[in-house]
Amino acid sequence: MYICRLHIDGFGMFHNQGVQSLPNGIILFLGDNESGKTTLMEFIRMVLFGFHRRGSRNNYPPLGGGNHRGRIQVVMKNGQLCTIERGFGHVAIVDEGGDPERVEPSERLLGGINRQTFERIFAIGLRDMQGLDVLSQENVRGRLIAAGAGLGAASVPVKMQDIDNELRNLLTQRGKQASINQIVNRLTEIEIQVKKLHGQASEYAEYQREREQLEARIKQCKTEEESIRQRLMRIEQLTKAREHWVQLCSARDKIVTLVFAKDFPPNGLERFESLRKEIENIEKNKEGHEDKAKPLSKQRSELSIDQSLLLEQEGAIDKVISEKGKLESSLEDLPEVRSSMAWAEEEFQRRLKELGTAWYPERLAQLDTSVQVRQQVREFGDKLSAAMRNHESAQAYLRIAKDAEVEAKRRAGEAKRRLDNLPLPLITDEQKLQLKKQTLRMISSLLHKRDVLNSQLDANGKAKKELQVRLKSVQKQMEALVQPLPSWAPIVMLIAGLGLSAFLATQHSYVSASITLLGSVILAVLFHMLRRRQVKAESTRLAQLQEDRHQIEQTQQLLDHEFGQLKEQVESITKEIERLVREAEIKQLDDIMQLEQLNNKLEGASKQLQEWRTQEREKKESEDNWFYARMKLEEAEQDIERKSKEHQQLQDDWKNWLIERGLSDTVSPEGFEAVLQAVESARTAHKNLNEFRSRVNRMEEYIAGVRQRIITVLDNCGRKPLKTEVGVEDLDALFRDIEVARETKRQQEELKERLELVQKEIERLSKWLDEKKAEVRMLMNDAGVTSEEDFRRQGEYYHEWCKYDKQMQNAEMVLLNIAGTPKAKAALETELNDIETIQLQTEREKHQADLERVTNEVSKYEREVGRLNQILSQMSQDERLSTLLLEQRTLQERLSDGIKHWASLVVCRHLLGQAQSIYEREQQPRVIQEANRFINIITNKRYRIISPVGEAIVQLEDAEMRRKNEIEWSTGLAEQVYLSIRLGLASEFGRQTEPLPIILDDVLVNFDPTRQLGVAKAIMEFGREQQVLLFSCHPEIKQIILEAHEHTDFPEVIVACYTLSDGVISYHSSSN
């Protein structure tokens, strides 16, 4: 893409400025400081990428006048001509012969790049030549450097460094920190420990053998201990038994002397004494009971009863007394119940009065208050309410309809007034208007096309002029051919030499004559050779110039032909425009401005027509609305009349219903429930009154009956009532008297019972006494004695016999217990008989000493066995080996993974290294290739730029393949490299997307004259493919550029020069 034309309406200091026919080559804008160079650069950016935010200083408000807008015309890579127009808030792209499109140029024309990327790639200032920051910026590295290597964000050296680090972390030749080293070391340790633990089984068996030996010795000791213990136990037995054995012997001797008393009755003496005591007690008891019986008989005879009549009537008396409570409460309640009855009478009368004079108890009962009736009333009520609501809503609707009709009428009037006030549009035919607009668009497109053709004509004209200049220059060069040395010069020189040498020979200077002759010959040969070379060079140059002239003439012919064609096209377009103008009945258009004015007029007419049509439509709509509103009002009036009638009919039906039931027709359905409630209240009051009446009657009947029964009982008991009217007092007197009579009777009966009991006890004691005396006699008979003294003596002998017998039995029992069995007891007695106490003592002491010794030995051996058991138990439960083996396996697994990973990393690093050498040998990113094109020109092929793979850095390689890093470059060399890379970047970017113009801001000023020329040549090289807008405040730059232009092999690159001064852009000169 290149900019072929630009027009500034208003931007900063520029107003209504423009440049026509910019070539696709090098365009030099020269101007002093504050002449508008930066503003012009910013204008181009603004049109391409839009304004900055509103209010930003960089928006360059139109200080010199005009609207804040402008347009740029560009020719795309494919030759398409587009105009980009931008003002504050709007942008449009107009294709040649097409309609304006409101899209951003960055999307449509600039390959999607934004302002930031444009400024980074296509705008180069002095600041950009300070380093290679651009290579590390977003969008650049990814798209051009790394992308060229096929890498994303990866950096191969960094990755290789990462791999080296990772390898070092995994494994090192020495050191213990790396993870594999750690695992290997730990595995070695485990191996040693496992070997040690494998010897455990033999150790275990050794301990086991030792334990078995100790256990055998313990067994032996325990046998000895057991025999000692047994002997000691026997000695103990003998010692313990000796005393009892002595007692046994003594008892046996005594019992022989008392054998006569052994048949005495068992416990005879005790039984005898007990019977004697019992007889004495029974006799005493009997006497006591006889003393009690006498006073009881006396008391009984003293008691008598005088109220016998009362006891005879006991049943009747109890019955009337049982009525006492009820009688008492009835007498108390009667006055109160009577007063309640009077109150109920009054309540009933009041309820009747509330209902009205026509109401009486029978009528109350007649009125139907069933659920059905209530349902009917509710239905009446609902219908009446609904009818009422319907009526009310109809009234509301009527009001709304009236309001709507008034509003619609008002609006119709207003719409009519507005339409009447609106002037009739200039063009009332929409089709005609559209036709005119279409024609204008076509004319606009044709005008644009004609402008392009004109610019091509201009370019053609300039090219022709340039060719003429070149032709003239060629002709001048041909004319200015260098004349070779004359052909006679060597001959003259030779003759002169001969003459001089002849002369010298005549003077006898033969040596000098010879030298002169030789010199003249040599000079003649040299002159001859020089002349031949001159002739050859000049003829070659002449042929070249003739060839150039021929080419220029051919190009001129081509340009003439192209000029003629362009001219024809311009004329045909002009004719087409004239035809369209005629058809559209518009005045002749000379330029775009007139076209735009006419377009504006048509836009105005279109808007006017639309407004008039809108008003007309609104008037019609409002009249229609008014008509509908009137219709609705009439409907509402009819509706309200119908609903009033329905409501009246329902009210009549309700009144008839009430009259049929003898009720007042003034009652409403809502009030009917109140009437029913009043009737139910009156019915309740009447029911209460009846209940009170029957209660009073019942109470009075009861009181009279009870009184009569009291009088009868009093008569039967021979008594008179205490007062004239029998009452509760009479019942109380009867109750007191009958209680006294009953108590006396109870006392008599109790005395009788006690007396009978005492007499029975006396009889029983007499019988018992006789029995005991018989028992005493029988006991004495059994003992074979006749007197009580004999009996007692015989009893004492018997007791003594018993004592010795028991002593003997006890001793035998103890000896049996000690010995265990009768046989052992016999043996024990025999041994006791044979051994003395002193002997036993001596033997015991000896055995006790032996026992202590053996026990100590056993205890010692058992402790040892315990220790061995503990060791064996620990060994049997020792998990160390299994723990170590599990750790070993886990570590081996990790080691296996680790070494595989290590090996993968080693192989990966090797492959990366291989790929790196291949890549650096065979492939380089396109940017670097492009940059090399420029550095070759600038440094005259002294250096080559190398980009190490995947790196956002560059190195320089000289002819001897030595590489220099950025840090090693001189300042001048660095600036040349930076500029080359920037140009390479822009070139490559342009190749990938759209080749946009590059803006160079005074990039030549820091270089010395030689380098300036080199750089200018590089710019020239760049200008072959992309437009260069070179801004500078140094006038000499123009000369450098032109000089470079002259020295390059591409004279087709057009160089145009403009000057800027106080917001005015002026064409200065052109290379052609």
Partner 1 sequence: MSSVSREFRFVHCADLHLDSPFEGIHAVEPAIATKLKEATFKAFDDVINLAIRNYADFLIIAGDVYDGADRSLRAQLRFRDALRHAVEQDIQCFVAHGNHDPLSGWEAELTMPEGVHRFSGEHVERIVVKRGAEELAHVYGISYPDRDVRDNIALKFRRETNTPFAIGVLHCNVGGDPSHDNYAPCMVEDLLRCRMDYWALGHIHTRKVLNKFNPCIVYPGNTQGRSVRELGERGCYLVRVGATGSITTEFIATDMVRWFSEEVNISDLNTIDDLLDALDKVCKDVRASAEGRASVLRLLLIGRGDLHAKLRHMDAERDLALPLREKETERTDFVWVESVQVATRPTIDIVQRRAVKDFIGDFLRSAESMRMQLNYGEVIRKLLSSRSEYRIIARQFDHLSDTDLLSILDQAETLGLDYLTEEE
| Sheet architecture: strand order including 26-31 | 123-125, 998-1001, 1028-1032, 26-31, 1055-1061, 1064-1070
Instruction: For the CB of residue 935, give the shortest distance to partner 1 in the complex, in Å.
Output: 23
Q: Tell me the DSSP string of 509-565.
A: -HHHHHHHHHHHHHHHHHHHHHHHHHHHHHHHHHHHHHHHHHHHHHHHHHHHHHHHH
Question: Which of 575, 900, 942, 1034 touches partner 1 by CB under 8 A?
Answer: 900
Does residue 952 belong to the site contacting partner 1 (CB under 8 A)?
Answer: no
- Residue 142 or 822: the one with the smaller Cβ distance to partner 1 is 142
Name the residue among 44, 48, 57, 51 with its Cα closest to residue 18.
44
Query: Between 294 and 900, whose beta carbon lies closer to partner 1?
Result: 900
**Which segments of 717-836 does DSSP mark as H helices, in order?**
728-783, 788-819, 822-834
Which range, of 37-45, 405-413, 497-505, 891-899, touches partner 1 by CB under 8 A? 891-899
User: Could you say whether residue 735 binds partner 1 (CB under 8 A)?
Assistant: no
Closer of 207 and 657 to partner 1 (Cβ): 207
Residue 563 and residue 570: Cα distance in Å, rounded?
A: 10
Q: Smallest distance from the beta carbon of 131 to partner 1, in angstroms?
A: 22
**# residues contacting partner 1 (CB under 8 A):** 66
The smaller minimum CB distance to partner 1, of residues 329 and 923, is found at 923
Distances (CA, A) of 11 to 37, 60, 828, 871: 12, 6, 148, 103
Which of 471, 895, 1033, 1064 contacts partner 1 by CB under 8 A? 895
Q: Does 150 bind partner 1 (CB under 8 A)?
A: yes
Q: Which of 116, 130, 208, 574: binder of partner 1 (CB under 8 A)?
A: 208
Rounded CA gap, 888 and 183, in Å? 9
Residue closer to partner 1 (CB basis): 189 or 392: 189
Nearest approach in angstroms of CB 218 to partner 1 is: 21
- CA dist., res. 405 & res. 41, Å (int): 67
- Minimal distance in Å, beta carbon 943 to partner 1? 24
Q: How far is the CB of 925 from partner 1 (least distance, A)?
A: 10
The yes or no reply on residue 186 touching partner 1 (CB under 8 A) is no
The radius of gyration computed from the CA coordinates of the chain, to the nearest angstrom, equals 76
Distance CA 83, CA 96 (A): 8
Could you tell me the end-to-end alpha-carbon distance of the chain, in angstroms, rounded to an integer? 22
Q: Which of 154, 246, 365, 515 binds partner 1 (CB under 8 A)?
A: 154
**How far apart are CB 151 and partner 1 at their closest, in Å?**
6
Q: Is the dihedral of CA 337, 343, 349, 350 positive or negative?
A: negative
Candidates 195-203, 306-314, 444-452, 463-471; binding stretch for partner 1 (CB under 8 A): 195-203
Least distance to partner 1 from the beta carbon of 213, Å?
14
- Of 94-102, 343-351, 514-522, 884-892, the segment contacting partner 1 by CB under 8 A is 884-892
Using the contact rule CB under 8 A, the part of the chain among 67-75, 468-476, 801-809, 916-924 near partner 1 is 916-924
- Cβ of residue 187: shortest distance to partner 1, in angstroms? 10
Task: Give the integer Cα–Cα distance in Å for 69 and 87.
Answer: 4
Pick the piece of the chain touching partner 1 (CB under 8 A) from 393-401, 473-481, 890-898, 951-959.
890-898
- The answer to whether 856 contacts partner 1 (rule: CB under 8 A) is no
Q: Which residue has the tokens 């009156």?
A: 682
Interacting stretch for partner 1, rule CB under 8 A, among 151-159, 679-687, 728-736, 861-869? 151-159
Q: Counting contacts by CB under 8 A, is residue 759 touching partner 1?
A: no
Two tokens at 509? 């200077």
Q: Indicate whether 870 belongs to the interface with partner 1 (CB under 8 A).
A: no
Report how far residue 895's alpha carbon sits from residue 893's, in angstroms, rounded to the nearest whole number.
5
Listed as own residue / partner, the contacts of 608-614 with beta carbons closer than 8 Å and 24 or more positions apart are 608/423, 608/425, 608/426, 609/425, 609/427, 609/428, 609/430, 609/433, 611/422, 611/425, 612/419, 612/422, 612/424, 612/425, 612/428
By beta-carbon proximity to partner 1, the closer residue of 489 and 953 is: 953
Of 136 and 648, CB closest to partner 1: 136
Cα 21 from Cα 3, distance rounded (Å): 9
> What residues have CB less than 8 Å from 776, skipping those under 6 apart?
272, 275, 276, 279
Based on CB atoms, which residue is closest to partner 1, 954 or 979?
954
Nearest CB to partner 1, comparing residues 518 and 915: 915
β-sheet with 955-958: strand ranges across? 943-946, 955-958, 963-964
Which residues is 1029 bridged to in the sheet? 27, 999
Site for partner 1 contains 429 (CB under 8 A): no
Q: Which of 33, 56, 177, 202 binds partner 1 (CB under 8 A)?
A: 202
Interhelix angle for 1036-1047 vs 1009-1023, to 10°? Answer: 60
Provide the Cα torsion 507, 512, 518, 521; round to 10°.
-50
Tell whether residue 172 is a contact of partner 1 (CB under 8 A): yes
Per rule CB under 8 A, is residue 915 in the interface with partner 1?
yes
The residue type at 381: G
214 sits near partner 1 (criterion: CB under 8 A): no
Query: How far, in Å, CA of 553 to CA of 566, rounded?
Result: 20
Structure tokens at 727: 């009452």
Pick from 919, 929, 993, 1011: which binds partner 1 (CB under 8 A)? 919
Measured distance CA(1016)–CA(1030) in Å, rounded: 11
Closer residue to partner 1 in complex, CB, 56/173? 173
Out of 41, 92, 184, 779, the only residue in the binding site for partner 1 (CB under 8 A) is 184
Q: Can you read off the two tokens belonging to residue 519? A: 């010199």
When binding is defined by CB under 8 A, the residue of 565, 890, 992, 1066 that contacts partner 1 is: 890
Of 44, 144, 149, 401, the one binding partner 1 (CB under 8 A) is 149
- The residue among 53 and 176 lying less far from partner 1, judged by its C-beta, is 176
The one segment of 144-152, 229-237, 563-571, 632-640 that binds partner 1 by CB under 8 A = 144-152
Choose, by CB under 8 A, the member of 282, 513, 946, 949 that binds partner 1: 949
User: Does 885 sit near partner 1 (CB under 8 A)?
Assistant: yes
355, 875, 952, 1042: residue in contact with partner 1 (rule CB under 8 A)? 875
Question: Which of 588, 842, 876, 1010 touches partner 1 (CB under 8 A)?
Answer: 876
- Give the per-residue contact string, 244-283, with partner 1 (x = CB under 8 A; - = no): ----------------------------------------
Could you tell me the strand order of the sheet in which 81-87 lies?
14-19, 2-11, 69-75, 81-87, 90-95, 100-101
Q: Which of 543, 674, 907, 1005 binds partner 1 (CB under 8 A)?
A: 907
CB 465 within 8 A of CB 559: no
Q: Which residues pair with 102 in a beta bridge?
A: none
Q: Decide: is 911 part of the binding site for partner 1 (CB under 8 A).
A: yes
Compute the distance between CA of residue 976 and CA of residue 983 in angstroms, rounded to an integer: 11
Q: Which residues bind partner 1 (CB under 8 A)?
A: 148-154, 156, 159, 162-163, 171-173, 180-181, 184, 197-198, 200-202, 204-205, 208-209, 875-879, 881-883, 885-886, 888-890, 893-897, 899-908, 910-912, 914-916, 918-919, 922-923, 949-950
